[in-house]
């Protein structure tokens, strides 16, 4: 369980194809405080730590995760948003995020508005119904508030702080973005199917 409040920007140091994909992630986290088997959200994907060293951790990524996320776009040097798993007593500054990516959205527009940047995303059609104005989404692991929705397109405003402490300062049109819809929206929809 996560909150979507990014606490580090990591860097993909190495990728190795085995039975699964193994990634080595460089981090500023104090890795001596990370347990083997711990969960870390990497661009919003909940991954399990399988190796540790000073300033890095390794994760194994299944073919399923690669096919459903933007992990297939990763290369050595790719910057990614990181968040350690939520602990009892931690501040819930974002919203409840599972780290289970629902699909990949695309950046289709960007415009500066003062010091902020308004970014327009296009959600897959099957997920668009779960995105609501003033609702929450997690994009590349970042808890964000939706400003407006127009069909499959939705807008998010990125303030300077968010652009500085996450990978959002380097986003560009055409980027593929991990999208996790709000958990409440998912359950309300499922209940309506049974109603």
CA atoms of 53 and 58, how far apart (whole Å): 9
Rounded to two decimals, what is the model's pTM? Answer: 0.93
Kindly list the structural domains of the chain, giving each domain's residue range(s) and its CATH number in brackets, ordered by start: 8-84 (2.40.30.20), 103-194 (2.40.30.20)
Query: 27-43 as b/e, with b when 16 or more CB fall inside 10 Å?
Result: bebeeeeeeeeebbbbb
- Give the pLDDT confidence score for residue 72 in this predicted structure: 95
Q: What is the pLDDT of residues 40-60, one digit of tens each?
A: 999 999 999 999 999 999 999
Q: What is the pLDDT of residues 3-42, one digit of tens each?
A: 999 999 999 999 999 889 999 999 999 999 999 999 999 9
């Amino acid at each position: 369980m996560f909150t979507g409040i990014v606490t580090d920007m990591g860097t993909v140091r190495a990728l190795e194809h085995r039975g699964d994909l193994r990634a080595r992630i460089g981090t500023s986290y104090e890795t001596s405080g990370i347990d083997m088997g711990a969960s870390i959200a990497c661009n919003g994907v909940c991954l399990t730590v399988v190796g540790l060293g000073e300033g890095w951790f390794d994760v194994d990524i299944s073919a399923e995760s690669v096919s459903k996320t933007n992990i297939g776009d990763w290369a050595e040097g790719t910057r990614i948003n990181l968040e350690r798993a939520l602990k009892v007593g931690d501040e819930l500054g974002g919203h409840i995020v599972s780290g289970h990516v629902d699909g990949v959205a695309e950046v289709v527009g960007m415009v500066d508005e003062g010091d902020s940047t308004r970014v327009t995303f296009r959600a897959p059609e099957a997920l668009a119904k779960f995105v609501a104005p003033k609702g929450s989404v997690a994009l590349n692991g970042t808890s964000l508030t939706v400003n407006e929705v127009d069909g499959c397109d939705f807008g998010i405003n990125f303030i300077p702080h968010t652009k500085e402490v996450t990978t959002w300062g380097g986003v560009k049109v055409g980027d593929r973005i991990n999208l996790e819809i709000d958990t409440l929206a998912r359950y309300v929809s499922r209940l309506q199917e049974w109603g």
